[in-house]
Structure 1
Amino acid sequence: MEIKRIDFDLAKYILEVHAADEDEQVVLCKTLRQGAAAQLFAELEPYVVGMEACCGSHHWARVLTDLGHEARLISPQFVKPYVKSNKNDRNDAEAICEAFGRLSMRLVPPQSPEQLEIQAVHRTRQRAVANRTRLMN
């Protein structure tokens, strides 16, 4: 089993792991809890790992980078066209794998905890301004 890259879809408690080889054939398709996923990636040799960009993906990018993997994030709007049928975690993981197979795909840089904190402050302020405007109107 020669894995070229591993892609996974994040959910609340489980991860759908999807791996492809050089010929873009599926060689691994698993449903794992978050603790088991971290253990799986710790046991694997370094790979390119792709996932959809969301708030939890930045944390996983840091965890995977610490384990020696190369974490890549893709915007959800670029994954959506590759979902083949009903939206579920397994189909999303397959779509992420399909999207990462494209050479010209644009990636999202992982954010540091400091960047995420600053972003949270800006969003909180934006909500406060919107609430104040709503009250005044």
Structure 2
Amino acid sequence: MSIKRILVNTIDTDLEYEVIGIDLAKNCVSAILLTTDGEIFGIDRLDYQELEKSAQELSPTIFAMEPCTEMNYMVQKLEDWGHHCIVISGKNVKDYVESHFSNQKTDLNDAQALAFLTKDTQLRTVKAKDPEQLKYASLTTLREQYVKQYRQTMVSLKGICQVWGLSISKGISGKARLKDMIENHAAFPAELRTALVGMVAHA
């Protein structure tokens, strides 16, 4: 039985794994695979397509990961394929790396920390969002972004109008009213008037 990390390039789907720790990045993952025989395999770079293909072929396995942008989607996919996912906070991973790897933070060390932390039955884990919660959170984020952009647009527009002698009070925000005020303000050059009306229309 080996206790040394063995570097490989792919997931051997013929083996049985106790747990797979995955450090998620934007375009790929780093993975540590603990077999039921106690071996430790490490994959430094594995693209998502290959991970998903292998996961569909594996027998039910525990996957461990940290909270991140890709996490909720990945949990949904893996659990749909019969696996169990455990999400562990970044602080716990950092503490493990500090105590077991002399604070040498690498993607593989993070993945190995995730894998071994699943053995701590007292560890508090993070609950992933289900599809309905994820939908609501995404819509909320989009709305907040829209409101932020709209407010920034209105501040810019009112500032430009003030430069040309058109004062727009805070209470005026309706698009029809703003469009009418801009179109009827004689001081605006034609090109600027057209640009401002377009700004209102797309706000």
TM-score, length-scaled by structure 2: 0.56
**How far apart, CA to CA, are the structure 2 residues paired with 1:122 and 1:103?**
39
After the TM superposition, which residues 17-96 of structure 1 pair with which residues of structure 2 at under 5 Å, given as runs? 17-21=31-35, 25-30=38-43, 31-83=45-97, 84=101, 85-96=103-114
Larger radius of gyration: 2
Give the number of equivalent residue pairs: 132
Q: What residue number does 1:97 align with?
A: 115
Of 79-88 and 101-110, the range deviating more from structure 2: 79-88
Q: Distance in 2 between matches of 1:53 and 1:82?
A: 16
Kindly provide the amino acid, as one letter, of the partner of residue 25 in structure 2.
A
Larger mean CA deviation between 1-10 and 72-81 belongs to 1-10
- 8 Å CA contact retained: 1:18, 1:93: yes
Residues 66-124 of structure 1 show CA distances to partners (whole Å, capped at 9, x for unaligned) of: 11111111111111101124222111111112222211111111113224315525864
- CA RMSD in angstroms comes to 2.8
The C-alpha deviation readout for 1:33-78, integer Å capped at 9, x for no partner, is 1111111111101111111111211110011011111111111111
User: Which runs of no fewer than 5 residues in structure 2 stay unpaired?
Assistant: 1-14, 153-203
Letter in 1 for 2:49: G
3-state DSSP of counterpart to 2:60: coil
- C-alpha spacing 1:72/1:115, structure 2 compared with 1 (3 Å): farther
Following the alignment from structure 2 to structure 1, what is the Cα–Cα distance between the partners of residues 148 and 41? 43
Q: Which of structures 1 and 2 has the larger relative contact order (alpha carbons within 8 angstroms, sep 6+)? A: 1
Percent pairwise identity: 25
SS in 2 for 1:104: coil
Considering fraction of residues, name the structure with more strand: 1
